[in-house]
Amino acid sequence: MEAIGHAGTCLGILANDGVLLAAERRNIHKLLDEVFFSEKIYKLNEDMACSVAGITSDANVLTNELRLIAQRYLLQYQEPIPCEQLVTALCDIKQAYTQFGGKRPFGVSLLYIGWDKHYGFQLYQSDPSGNYGGWKATCIGNNSAAAVSMLKQDYKEGEMTLKSALALAIKVLNKTMDVSK
């Protein structure tokens, strides 16, 4: 949980005409080569993407697993996996790691965005325990409590377009980013 709190801020906002995912790419180490700096947002399939906050190696393992689950479903059923079903499948794996002896939980929280024919645009968040939930707007990473507070004040349900969601995301990231590092 500590690694997630120190990670760059990631936020998601559900709009009427789409879902916005924004992330702060932060390099806190002066000696780290920017060329090999890892991404914060991953494409999972044609209709889904996710953003990660936490231990990068755990995030890479989990995003690869998400892609594998989505491809298996596509191969078996000849249609894209519903968003919540993909989130549930990964969270079952994350939850299992919390109770096996000799294994540590994954140190990463994820924001998932996507679209499916059943529920349209969706935004989910999961934590290291495997707990997940659907959101209209949420944030993970550094200063997430302050960001969520701003989102609560400024999110206008039913009036959000992608353009207004982008303006809100920029405002929230601008206020919550720690530029001293």
Collapsing DSSP to helix, strand or coil, 89 comes out as helix
For position 37, what pLDDT does the model report?
Answer: 58
For position 70, what pLDDT does the model report?
Answer: 98
**CATH H-level superfamily of 2-24+37-176:** Aminohydrolase, N-terminal nucleophile (Ntn) domain (3.60.20.10)
Residue spans of beta strands (DSSP E) within 70-119: 108-116
For position 116, what pLDDT does the model report?
Answer: 92
For position 33, what pLDDT does the model report?
Answer: 67
Laid out side by side, the sheet with 18-23 consists of 18-23, 10-15, 137-140
Gap between the Cα atoms of 117 and 12, Å rounded: 20
- Identify any residues that bridge with 15 across adjacent strands, giving them in sequence order: 18
139 with 171: CB under 8 angstroms? no
Per residue in 30-46, pLDDT tens?
676 666 556 789 999 99
For position 102, what pLDDT does the model report?
Answer: 86
For position 32, what pLDDT does the model report?
Answer: 67
For position 67, what pLDDT does the model report?
Answer: 98
For position 2, what pLDDT does the model report?
Answer: 79
Domain boundaries, the chain: 2-24+37-176
pLDDT above 90 as % of the chain? 78
DSSP 75: H
CA 162 to mean position of chain CA atoms: 17
For position 144, what pLDDT does the model report?
Answer: 93
19 with 114: CB under 8 angstroms? yes
Listed as ranges, residues in the chain with pLDDT below 50 are: 181
Collapsing DSSP to helix, strand or coil, 43 comes out as strand
